[in-house]
Amino acid sequence: MVLVKDHVGDIAIIMQSLIALIRPFKWNFITITFLSPEMIDYLDAPLPFLFGMSSHTWSQIYNTH
């Protein structure tokens, strides 16, 4: 799952909320609150992940506006 927001500060709060919603289960997989353009290859990870990314970075990578 990739969370894309204008305000990167909100991403950590949303991630914590999503992880809290799966209780009593635990999230034991990759969680990165801010995925920079240099780390974009992480999106090809062969396991579950929760990443955050600014909408500016998203549009740079995928050329969407």
The parent domain of residue 48 ranges over 2-62
CATH number of residue 41's parent domain: 3.40.50.11500
Q: What is the pLDDT of residue 7?
A: 86
d(CA 51, CA 39) in angstroms, rounded, equals 11
Residue 52 backbone dihedrals phi, psi, to 5 degrees: -115, 145
pLDDT at 20 over 80: yes
Q: What is the pLDDT of residue 64?
A: 53
Q: Which pair of structure tokens corresponds to residue 20?
A: 């809290």
pLDDT, tens digit, 9 for 90 and up, residues 31-64: 999 998 889 889 898 999 999 999 888 888 877 5
d(CA 23, CA 19) in angstroms, rounded, equals 7
pTM (two decimals): 0.79
String of b and e for 10-41 (b: at least 16 CB within 10 Å)?
ebeeebeeeeeeeeeeeeeeebbbebeeeeee
